Amino acid sequence: MKVITYPLYLAAVPLYARLYASESMVIDDMAPFVKQTFRNRAVIATESGTQSLTIPVVHDGGKVAMRDVRISEHGNWRHQHWNAIVSAYRKSPFFDYYADDFAHFYEERDGFLMDFNLRLHGVVSELLGLERKVEFLSDEALDVTGTVDLRRIAEPKALQTVEGVVMRPYYQVFAQRNGFVPSLSILDLLFNMGPEGLLVLRDSVCEK
């Protein structure tokens, strides 16, 4: 089975649960970029609740394919995002193991949003042991037979129910204060559970 999705910014855990049960991931790199979605937004858990991290982009409001969207370097978003991640997860069991794998993303400059997101996805997949073939919808030779469409996961409301996924609760630093929060960025699972995050993904897949 293949899944098709957009290149998302540190995508939510349910997407990775579906990816666990898949042989490859097809990236829709041709559809127009849409603001206020997980294409350039990730959600993490903090002591006071959830926090959204949004990457600013160069966008004039017209129809621009995701693969052509550039990251805006105005402001200090990289510093803000990394500080927020450190503040949220520095007490998590595996933060010290993985912090260096992500810190440099917030020091370098990437021209295109899709490239940045896919590079992060590559690191996450490697650390979880969840490497899957990545294909692109723009490839004319691509065979999409049997592909499961997960593009709606880019919409915040869609994460409330993801077909084929029932999230297995896992340890979260602030669960005692805020309760278990499902559907956070994959960083939450990785920093809290480390290699055992793969088992959480496995056990969250309910589709036969």
User: Which pLDDT belongs to residue 7?
Assistant: 95
Residue pair 96/103 in contact (Cβ under 8 Å)? The answer is no
Residue 157: per-residue pLDDT: 79
Domain that residue 160 falls in? 2-204
Q: What was the pLDDT predicted at 207?
A: 63
> What pLDDT shows up at residue 195?
94
pLDDT on residue 62? 75
Structural domain count, the chain: 1
**CB neighbours of 109 closer than 8 A, spacing ≥ 6?**
71, 73
Residue type at position 54: T
Give the model's pLDDT for residue 200. Answer: 96
Residue 93: predicted pLDDT: 97
pLDDT score at 176: 87
Residues of the chain with pLDDT under 50: none
Confidence (pLDDT) at 142: 80
Helices (H), the chain: 13-20, 77-89, 95-103, 113-128, 175-178, 186-193, 197-204
